[in-house]
Amino acid sequence: MAASILRVFSNWSPSTSLLQPLRGPKLRHAALWNSQTHSIRRLCVRSLSVQDEGNAIESLAMDLALKAGTMIKDKSGLALQVDTKESRFDLVTEVDKACEDFLRTQVQEKFPNHFYLGEETFTDQEFERLRSGLKDSEWTWIVDPIDGTLNFVAGMPLSVVSIGVALGQNMEIGVVYNPFNNELFYARRGQGAYLNGMPIKVLPHDTELEDSTVSVGFPSKPEWRLRMLEDIGKVAPNARSVRALGTAALHMSYVGAGRIGCFFEHNLKPWDVAAARLIVEEAGGKVTDMNGNVLPLTAGSILASNGGILHDRIVQLVSD
């Protein structure tokens, strides 16, 4: 549509014969109109530029997810070096780091002006930059090279690559790839969500909790695990079943695909949810904090659901 508008304004100019008889205020009004049309043309050009850049970003994100996924699949359960981060429950392997280095290098090579925030290489300054607010014209890659590292170390086929890209404060592109069953979930703002090229949708909005599978995650910090157990105790008696797969991005992608009704977890980081958040939203679902409020890019406690009565029910149960 933007291209069509641009062609219209490119081929149109005010008639000289119409402007000649104008004098005084009328001429000023005509000049103002002419100035406004040029502003619209510039806006259209900028929109086309953003669209074209978005297309290139989307293509690269999917390509990188597939390549990093191959690295994960080939090394699952075979990690030679396993280190800890914040606690002995929070693991990182040489494969996490290798995938991160590969992804960051490729992004910075193709888009040197883009901001990149990755789980294994982020700095406090980079995280604060995300927290303090990004410029509307700024592209930001938010990446988790292996979401589900504990599963990866154990050789369990439940690890994914998560690549989200924001423009300003809005997620624009989300890609989540599970290499173990070759499922590529992806979404583009305003263009829907897809699984291996086929459109996906969340469960119907009138689905009740009693007819839904609820998925949860357990943070690495013990105090947050206790909080999760408390909240699960409020929700589980009312749900059809409860599942914990060990990867937030995959849980949320399953919400988008209508496989489960909702997912919630406390103390998540931006790279855990950035990509899958857009997948849920573009599939017709809803993503908020646990109180039902808008979720910032920095994440935190999160509730992702089909967006219907189920979402409100979880918020109510947890708040009681």
Instruction: Return contacts of 190-199, CB within 8 angstroms, 24+ apart.
Output: 190/282, 191/282, 192/282, 192/283, 193/256, 193/278, 193/279, 193/280, 193/282, 193/283, 195/253, 195/257
The pLDDT of residue 12:
32
Stretch 68-81: mean pLDDT: 84
Q: Which of 38-47, 134-143, 166-175 has the highest mean pLDDT?
A: 166-175
pLDDT score of 120: 67
Whether 149 is catalytic: yes
Catalytic position from the list 120, 144, 172, 231: 144
Q: Residue 146 catalytic?
A: yes
- Say if CB 286 and CB 310 are below 8 A apart: no
Q: Is 119 annotated as a binding residue?
A: yes
* 120 in active site: no
Q: Between residues 137 and 290, which one has the greater pLDDT?
A: 290
147 assigned ligand-binding residue: yes
Give me the mean pLDDT over the 200-209 stretch: 97
Work out the pLDDT band at 83, boundaries 50, 70, 90: low
Query: Is-catalytic flag, 144?
Result: yes
What is the location of CATH 3.30.540.10 in the chain? 48-199
Q: Give the predicted TM-score (pTM) of the model.
A: 0.81
Instruction: For domain 209-319, say whether CATH 3.90.45.10 is its number.
Output: no
The pLDDT of residue 298 is 81
Structure tokens, 153: 């170390």
Catalytic residue among 58, 96, 100, 119: 119
Mean pLDDT score, 146-166 = 93
144 is known to lie in a ligand binding site: yes
Residue 7: Cβ within 10 Å count: 11
Q: Where in the chain is the domain with CATH 3.40.190.80?
A: 209-319
Catalytic residue among 96, 231, 265, 272: 272
Domain boundaries 48-199, corresponding CATH code: 3.30.540.10
63 annotated among ligand-binding-site residues: no
pLDDT recorded at residue 128 = 73
Q: Spot the catalytic one: 58, 93, 140, 149.
A: 149
Tell me, what amino acid is at 189?
A: R
